[in-house]
Amino acid sequence: MASSAVLARAAALRQEIERHNHAYYVLDAPTIPDAEYDRLFRELQALEAEHPEIVTSDSPTQRVGGRPLDAFPKVRHAVAMLSIRTETDTEASGARAFDARVRKELGLSDADPQVEYNAELKFDGLAVNLRYEGGVLVAAATRGDGETGEEVTQNVRTVHAIPLRLHTDAPPEVLEVRGEVFMRRDDFERYNAKQREAGKPTLVNPRNGAAGSIRQLDPKLAAQRPLSFFAYGLGEVLGWTHAPATHSATLDALEKLGVPVCPERRVCRGADELVAFHAEIAARRDTLPFDIDGVVYKVNRFDLQRELGFVTREPRWAVAHKYPAQEQLTVVEAIEVQVGRTGALTPVARLAPVFVGGVTVTNATLHNQDEIDRKDVRVGDTVIVRRAGDVIPEVVAVVIDRRPEPAPPRFDILQSYPACPECGSHVVRLEDEAAVRCTGGLYCPAQRKQALLHFAGRRAMDIEGLGDKLVDQLVDRGLVHTPADVYGLDLETLAGLDRMAEKSAANLLAAIDASKTTTLARFIFALGIRNVGEATAKDLARHFGSLDKLIAAKEDDLMAVRDVGPIVAQSIAQFFGEPHNLDVVRKLRDAGVNWAESAGVQQSAGILTGKTLVLTGTLPTLTREAAKDKIEAAGGKVAGSVSKKTDYVVAGVEAGSKLAKAQELGVAILDEAGLLALLEPHDAPGQRTLDF
């Protein structure tokens, strides 16, 4: 049982960390350095790990994401989460028409005072309902159909801007806060830049990024996305003493409770002030840090809202006043491709210049072949082009009525670009992918930096010191074209690079030289073959024993390897079928890169075949890698998280949440001795036989 001192310290840490979270994520005014924040967070983690019984649902440590879900449970809203009417007239007359309707419904004459409204922004994200009970966030749900939404509590907890506990000592019994989860433009661009550098999929736009993040079945993926939140209203409310009488006062009260509320809001009196707000925001729309598609007007007094009521499930007291879409018509003059760092060929429409979204646009992304086919974009077509803020312009749709006669042919990337425009390697499209890709991974200039960073990685050739900044210099100066060129670098060349003294250059040369002696599995992984991860590389090395056998293998031969299916086999065959890649492999061997080879062993059922194990904590004698190798050699699979499908958890010293999860699910737990006993052959003399 935790002592009172431990409880008090944990409570103090939680309060301090959340105060810093609010300052950083909501006020944009950090109060301490990152290192000090990390120290406080680690101290709280350590306390909770030592005393699991003190963990609370509103602890900052619970923001990292829980277990993956199979599906989102449905939840019925206590108060319907209805949408508001959209004013299709995007001019000033749209605001005047709304004011006129409100005055008519209230029975006001021209001699009566102006109606007071609260004007705010209409965010482009995902509407959510946050339920606080006793001041603690207990549930979150999407709008859904207004009556029933999806329960997304785990994912919403990962949004740092949303308080897990309201900032008050006297919270309402129940307070449902409604608002929008969204992604700022700068966060969207930074996230996509990191994804591109890592060779991972990017988000299409901030709105889809926000909605897709909250609807991730794995909360840990949601936690990796930079999301923000603004409140704009309430759902069910119970026991809120001195509750505000107006909408604007409610937003002010929410802000005092620590709930983020957009500062771009104003109390307006009458139609003229609504028109002025609409025009002012329109002029600043492109400079806002987030996307909006209009503004919202709400009658400010709640008693007048109740008097006005609803019509066809829409409130008479509110309206969304949209802005004209940032779209224009132009003509597609050509379709070309750009080769990305992962080898993906992205189609780009070359456009007749058109002024849209504040700039002259001449290019627009077409994303991939599926998008071209879905929108049926052809050279010569008149198209609608959209540009919002700093988002890359895109072709929204084709105006079929303006298509030339005879109709232009359909565009097909594989037909137009059978070879990569950057390196001449073959271009392919795998069955499960939208992207068309260049197969010259080791040779293609567009993929050069990505290929080098992967090749030098710790789990690949392990060339310590060959990182991003150095790779940028080596490639940009034309010193390295393929991984084989790394082994031709000399001390004078490296010492002449920025931030590279002679000692660091010598250390890097030593690391390069040491990497020449490796394993076949590491070398296969280092080649960066699409869909071939570290485990598959080990299986391929074990099965074939030599690189030449692997290179010569047909797709049917490859599918005889454990966990290698048609798509992986196709990727491997296409990679080694590209002469440019084979040339680089030959040069690597000529440079002295070597490994031990064997006759290979055909995969047979090991003692752990079909079993999934999870490693956690520090084992007495085995490193994590050594334990993983032993498990995989016995046919088992090592997973990163514990689930109902986990067969064993191998726990060492300082085993944390994975051990607790295994105990909760009733998963068998082994120590190192238990693992080694499990790996012993069935028929070893004097040893036990395990029944699975």
Per-residue model confidence as pLDDT tens digits over 258-269: 999 999 999 999
H/E stretch holding 297 reads: strand 292-299
From 384, 378, 385, 386, select the one nearest 404 (Cα to Cα). Answer: 378
pTM (2 d.p.): 0.49
Helices marked H in 172-299: 185-197, 206-214, 219-223, 247-256, 270-284
- At 605 the pLDDT is 60
Do 592 and 454 form a contact (C-beta atoms < 8 A)? no
Higher pLDDT among residues 593 and 367, named by residue? 593
DSSP class of 22: I
Catalytic option among 74, 104, 122, 587: 122
Amino acid code (one letter) for 14: R
Q: What are 522-581's pLDDT values in tens digits?
A: 999 999 998 899 989 998 999 999 999 999 999 989 988 877 888 899 999 999 999 999
What 404-410 contacts at long range (C-beta under 8 Å, 24+ apart), as own/partner pairs, is 404/380, 407/378, 408/378, 408/379, 408/380, 408/381, 409/378, 410/373, 410/376, 410/378
Evaluate if residue 481 carries a pLDDT over 50.
yes
Burial bucket for residue 138 (CB in 10 Å: 0-12, 13-18, 19+): middle
d(CA 148, CA 142): 8
d(CA 320, CA 83): 10
d(CA 296, CA 273): 13
Strand positions, DSSP E, 371-506: 382-386, 394-398, 427-428, 436-438
* Percent of the chain with pLDDT strictly greater than 70: 93
Do 197 and 154 form a contact (C-beta atoms < 8 A)? no
Find the mean pLDDT for residues 108-113.
Answer: 94
Do 198 and 449 form a contact (C-beta atoms < 8 A)? no
- At 100 the pLDDT is 96
Structure-token match 């729309």, residue found: 285
Q: Which of 10-24, 33-47, 307-321 is least confident?
A: 33-47
Do 394 and 346 form a contact (C-beta atoms < 8 A)? no
- DSSP string of 321-365? EE---SEEEEEEEEEEEEE-TTSEEEEEEEEEEEEETTEEEEEEE
d(CA 321, CA 279): 11
Q: What are 135-191's pLDDT values in tens digits?
A: 999 999 998 888 888 999 988 988 989 999 999 999 999 999 999 999 998 888 888
Do 470 and 449 form a contact (C-beta atoms < 8 A)? no
d(CA 469, CA 477): 12
Tally the residues of the chain: 692
Evaluate if residue 2 carries a pLDDT over 90.
no
- At 635 the pLDDT is 78
First to last CA, the chain: 38
Higher pLDDT among residues 325 and 55, named by residue? 55
Higher pLDDT among residues 57 and 592, named by residue? 592
Q: Which of 16-25, 70-79, 535-544 is least confident?
A: 16-25
- DSSP string of 497-528? STT--HHHHHHHHHHHHHTTEE-HHHHHHHTT
Find the mean pLDDT for residues 363-387.
Answer: 90
Q: What are 325-338's pLDDT values in tens digits?
A: 567 889 999 999 99
Residue 23's pLDDT band, with cuts at 50, 70 and 90, is confident
Q: Domains of the chain, with CATH numbers?
A: 4-64 (1.10.287.610), 85-322 (3.30.470.30), 327-416 (2.40.50.140), 445-595 (1.10.150.20), 612-678 (3.40.50.10190)
Is residue 375 part of the annotated active site? The answer reads no
Find the mean pLDDT for residues 457-465.
Answer: 94
